[in-house]
């Protein structure tokens, strides 16, 4: 296997994306909170801390035969164990608690892919014309609500401070649906969402490439800068791909996105 990865900070104050791998298991995490960066645990932000601590814990888990979701539960148990009583504040039921989107893949005779929220995986096979994309669609309703707020701000030329408050208010409303029935599911310190992850298994024998990425990297395809098929077929390096994305984002009209440049993380595995 040949492994390529990137984890580039966007225009926010903190890079809350994380990439990692352990043996034949690979992952991308995208940390998030609602509102300003909290520092309950110290460091740059609680979301960065949680994503980083969970990634470190995954790196220490060596049970290669475990399903992704079971391994994730064990890893988060390790994080809670190391925190002890300090974790009580972050386990409180609040929309401000740190969380992360996740995609994780275990490569064996079958490739097992597990996803929470808006991280994604894509596979490219021998003789493929169209890549196959795997992601958790349950978060899309929340994303569409935020998009309507952004469109309203742009259409009405809302001042920057007021616009920021409107977006944070919508994000807070969205997060009330976090890890709830008829809502969406993300990784949190209590580990409750792992059992609700979207899971797929695909035969590895015909796969030549696997891409795992955060939604910030996936903007490359969402904006139509390059198609997923051309990305694979032309073997576009990850650094070059992010460069294309940043150039496009820089040229976008003001207010097109809440963050002009989102954190962008990806791991590509070639077989």
Residue 87 pLDDT: 62
Residue ranges of the domains in the chain? 2-141+183-270
- Taking 60 as the threshold, does the pLDDT of residue 94 lie above it? no
Q: How large a percentage of the chain has pLDDT more than 70? A: 91
- Taking 60 as the threshold, does the pLDDT of residue 237 lie above it? yes
Give the residue, 51 or 170, on which the prediction is more confident: 51
235: left (phi over 0), alpha (psi -120 to 50) or beta: left
- Taking 60 as the threshold, does the pLDDT of residue 89 lie above it? no
Give the residue, 250 or 255, on which the prediction is more confident: 250
Looking at every residue in the chain, the average pLDDT score rounds to 88
pLDDT in tens, 102-123: 999 999 999 999 999 999 999 9
pLDDT in tens, 153-197: 888 888 888 888 888 788 888 878 889 888 899 999 999 999 999
| CATH architecture label of 2-141+183-270 | 4-Layer Sandwich (3.60)
- Taking 60 as the threshold, does the pLDDT of residue 90 lie above it? no
Element (H, E) at 112: strand 110-116
The model's confidence at residue 258, banded by pLDDT at 50, 70 and 90, is: low
| DSSP letters for 163-217 | HHHHHHHHHHHHHTTBTSTTSB--B-TT-TTGGG-EEEEEESTTEEEEEEE-HHH
Residue 91 pLDDT: 56
Query: CA torsion, points 129, 132, 137, 141, in degrees to nearest 10?
Result: -20
Say whether 107 sits in a helix, a strand or coil.
strand
Give the residue, 46 or 52, on which the prediction is more confident: 52
């Amino acid at each position: 296997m040949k492994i390529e990865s990137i984890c580039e900070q966007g225009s926010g104050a903190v890079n809350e994306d994380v990439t990692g791998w352990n043996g034949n298991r690979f992952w991308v995490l995208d940390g998030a909170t609602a509102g300003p960066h909290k520092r309950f645990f110290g460091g740059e932000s609680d979301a960065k801390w949680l994503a980083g601590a969970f990634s470190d814990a995954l790196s220490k888990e060596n049970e290669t035969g475990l399903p992704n979701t079971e391994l994730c539960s064990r890893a988060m148990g390790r994080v809670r164990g190391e925190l002890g009583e300090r974790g009580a504040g972050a386990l409180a039921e609040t929309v401000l608690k740190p969380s992360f989107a996740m995609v994780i893949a275990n490569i064996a005779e079958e490739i097992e892919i597990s996803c929470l929220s808006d991280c994604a995986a894509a596979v490219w096979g021998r003789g493929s014309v169209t890549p196959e994309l795997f992601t958790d669609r349950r978060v899309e309703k929340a994303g569409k609500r935020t998009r309507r707020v952004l469109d309203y701000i742009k259409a009405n030329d809302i001042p920057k401070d007021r616009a920021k408050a409107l977006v944070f208010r919508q994000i807070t409303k969205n997060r009330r649906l976090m890890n709830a029935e008829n809502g969406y599911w993300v990784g949190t310190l209590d580990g409750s969402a792992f059992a609700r992850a979207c899971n797929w298994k695909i035969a590895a024998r015909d796969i030549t490439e696997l891409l795992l990425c955060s939604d910030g990297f996936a903007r490359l395809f969402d904006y139509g800068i390059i198609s997923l098929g051309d990305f694979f077929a032309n073997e576009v390096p990850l650094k070059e791909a992010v460069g294309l994305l940043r150039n496009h984002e820089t040229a976008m009209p003001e207010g097109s996105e809440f963050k002009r440049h989102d954190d962008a993380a990806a791991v590509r595995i070639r077989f």
